[in-house]
Structure 1
Amino acid sequence: MARARSTDSRRPDFRAVRARLPEPLATAVDGFERHLAVERGLSVHTVRGYVGDVVSLLDHLAGTAGREDLADLDVSVLREWLAAQHARGASRSTMARRTAAARTFTAWARRAGLLTHDPGPRLAVPSTPRKLPAVLRTDQARAAMQASAAGAEQHDPVALRDHAVLELLYATGVRVSELCGLDVDDVDRERRVVRVVGKGDRERVVPFGLPADGALDRWITAGRPKLAGADSGAALFLGVRGGRLDPRTARRIVHDAVETVPGAPDVGPHGMRHSAATHLLEGGADLRSVQELLGHATLATTQLYTHVTVERLKAIHERTHPRS
């Protein structure tokens, strides 16, 4: 008997859906998850997203005609599933991500011998216009740092931490997950570099300047000891209860600092990363160096920031040139 299927574009808790999958399909999901996490070394967030999409796909497979064999997964089922997602209001970017997840899964299933052929390449990937990220101007970034530094002058350990977080995010352009994963030993104060483990467990060394070094010095010597506890371990940044800093807290730190700057766009840690990359390019850094600093796997990702700088130049031209 065909079962009710879950194709809500908001994707309800996939764990409940996963639990009711027929055993052969559930086993395939387990193998795919191991492949993403262990063999490809993807982040927990990325693995969760891909697995959730595949669970939705296989739930659709089992629900359309009671098909419990992965061999029944063909291009018509894939298209039916995507059509159901679209009918329920999935955005273009969501459709593109789910198409990518399905293609990744079918390619893996073919290599694992679970499919005799791979139907994924027959799926067209929806094009998604790349939105230019919101970035701070250099004066706005400076003002946010100054506001944070003023708070740190009170020598409150949380304020010292918040200032160090903000300075290091802007100085290095690291991802918020990378920042929260730093240990004290990852920071080389003498050389002013930080060792970062990024996506796919790729390691890179990123330099930082004197303002970030000063903020780190005050945090490590005066702030961190006051928050450190039994759960602190080697973590560089700590929460108020002594454990490793949570990315949600880091996001709040950035939003609160930027909110003090009149006219600044509302950006979080990722916006600070965008701002750092844009300011590097505007200052004359070459694209390959910025790619290495940010930890991008391909230059195409870094090239997005050249569009940001061009748009900013156009805006300046329109404001200032008499014949714009």
Structure 2
Amino acid sequence: MLKDLGQVGLWLSEQGLGAADLDEGRLNQHLCDLRKAGRRRVAGPRGLVPLLTFLREAGVVPAAQVAPSPAEVLLERYRCCMESERGLSASTMLRYGNTARRFLAEQAMADGQFAPDGLTGADLNAFLLRECARVSAGSAKGRVAELRSLMRFLHLHGVIPMKLGGTVPPLGGWRFASLPATMAPGDVQRLLDHTPRKGMAGVGDYAISMLVARLGLRSIEVARLLLDDVDWRCGEIVVRGKGRREDRLPLRPMSERPWSLTCLTPGPARMQRHVFLTCEAPHGPIRADLVGDVVERACRRAGSPKVGPHRLRHALAADMLRHGAGLTAIGQVLRHQDLATTALYAKVDFIALRAVAQPWPGTEAA
């Protein structure tokens, strides 16, 4: 990257230009000149965006004066609607926005002009067929939900005259056709036993593993935890889940020690109010995907197959079911909004299912 940026400086000197004269147009001209000169490996425009962004933040290059396109204006209105009216998380808004941007670019352009009012059901089907050919079944189902959300927004805001959300065809798939992937309690305990508990990084990893395995927290919920969310007197923590939902869970005694060590860790990073922080500078809150890295490292130490943090959440639900907990109680611990989501775990209790299963015709009951 430094070599590519150095080439930009040499090109500016050859053209008699200074850094303040740099913009998107001149960067594209520089890349074209490199290709004409016979250079084989030439960076794309996106590869030089960090340079232009840095120069603008430093005040060397004036900010770009580019008026947003009609599609960008509409997408920004859609993002604001998802944030203010639906309360979606940043990652969900990003996924919905990317699908909306790609769909509008592919299906709402007529002769180079942005014309979303001419969208039809055939445009939706054509887009979905292309998506189904390149993504998995689960991702394709997500595209259906994302398209329906966009169509509802466009109709409610008067962009399209018809309610096209109902024309988005559902994707074939049966939610209860397979068993949820779980783990035996002994396998979960082996992962915890192979998680180090020394040093700031080890104590943090162990606390994360305990929260996922013993309280069933999602990765994003672990990353969002704040010091103010821990109530030591009442033995509770506040969990910030999906849709800006906040729930209180009991802080189990077995997880108090790693928690206390993590929350009371000294150092400059403790100026942050998040519980889990990065160990290396720049210090800040961990990302949700780092929770999966913690579980993956524990799997390697234990010599177990690689699993994700959500597998431990499934294992907690299955273990509660084996110990006689009802689906309502499991749904409360896992913070499911719909009991139908929790009902999926009823399939893993084979002992209870044998008591109610009818024998196959012509055979005796097992």
Corresponding residue to 2:276 among 237, 245, 253: 237
Identical-residue share of aligned pairs (%): 25
The reply to whether residue 56 of structure 1 matches residue 102 of structure 2 is yes
Task: Say if 1:178 and 1:197, in contact at 8 Å, map to a contact too.
Answer: yes
Q: Is the 8 A contact 2:100 2:146 kept in 1?
A: yes
Q: Alpha-carbon deviations, 1:249-298, whole Å to 9, x = none?
A: 22111111133335x44222211222222222222222122222222221
Q: Distance in 2 between matches of 1:147 and 1:83?
A: 46
**In the alignment, residue 300 of structure 1 is paired with which amino acid?**
A
Residues in 2 aligned to 1:140 and 1:126: alpha-carbon distance in whole angstroms: 35
1:276 maps to what in 2? 316
Among 166, 171, 182, which residue is 1:135 paired with? Answer: 182
Conserved 8 A contact 2:108-2:118: no
Aligned twin of 1:204: 247
The residue number in structure 1 matching 2:288 is 247
TM-score (norm 2): 0.72
CA contact (8 A) 1:229 1:243 kept: no
Task: Give 1:26 shift.
Answer: 2.4
Q: Say if 1:72 and 1:186 are closer, same or farther in 2 by CA, change over 3 A.
A: same
CA distance in 1, matches of 2:148, 2:311: 30
Residue 36 of structure 2 corresponds to which residue in structure 1?
none
If the length of structure 1 is used for normalisation, what is the TM-score? Answer: 0.80
Q: 1:2-17 counterparts in 2 under 5 A?
A: none
Determine the structure 2 residue equivalent to 1:36.
82
Following superposition, the deviation at residue 238 of structure 1 comes to 1.6
Report what 2:167 is aligned to.
122
Is the partner of 2:238 in helix, strand or coil? Answer: strand
Whole-angstrom CA distance in 1 between matches of 2:292 and 2:251? 20
Label 1:312 to 1:173 Cα distance change in 2 as closer, same or farther (>3 A): farther
Cα 1:174–1:32 change in 2 (3 A) is same
Q: Equivalent residue for 1:10?
A: none
Q: Is 1:178–2:221 an aligned residue pair?
A: yes
Contact kept? 2:347, 2:353, Cα under 8 Å: no
Q: Give 3-state SS (helix, strand or coil) of 1:30's partner.
A: helix
Using the TM superposition, give the Cα deviation of residue 66 of structure 1 relative to its aligned residue in structure 2, in angstroms. 4.1
Query: Helix, strand or coil for the counterpart of 1:194?
Result: strand
Q: Write the deviation string for residues 44-101 of structure 1: whole angstroms up to 9, x where unpaired.
A: 11111111111111011244654522211111111121223234x3332222211211
Kindly provide the amino acid, as one letter, of the partner of residue 120 in structure 2: D
RMSD in angstroms over aligned alpha carbons? 2.7
Structure 2, gaps ≥5 residues long: 1-45, 50-65, 355-364
Q: Per-residue displacement from partner, 1:226-255 (whole Å, max 9, x unpaired)? A: xx3257411111210332223232211111
Take 2:263 and 2:320, find their aligned partners in 1: how far apart are those partners? 27
CA contact (8 A) 1:140 1:261 kept: no
The CA distance in 1 between the partners of 2:352 and 2:297, in whole Å, is 25
What residue is the counterpart of 1:260 in the other structure? 301
Q: 1:57 to 1:272 in 2, by over 3 A?
A: same
Counterparts in 2 of 1:312 and 1:133: CA distance versus 1, 3 Å: farther
Query: How far does residue 161 in structure 1 lie from its aligned partner after superposition?
Result: 1.2
Distance change in 2, residues 1:181/1:166 (3 Å): same
Residue in structure 2 matched with residue 107 of structure 1 by the alignment: 152
Q: How far apart are the structure 2 equivalents of 1:260 and 1:190?
A: 35
Deviation (angstroms), 1:184: 1.3
5+ unaligned residues in a row in structure 1: which ranges? 1-12, 315-322
Contact 1:110–1:116 (8 Å) recurs in 2: yes
Q: How many residues align?
A: 289
* Secondary structure of 2:128 counterpart: helix
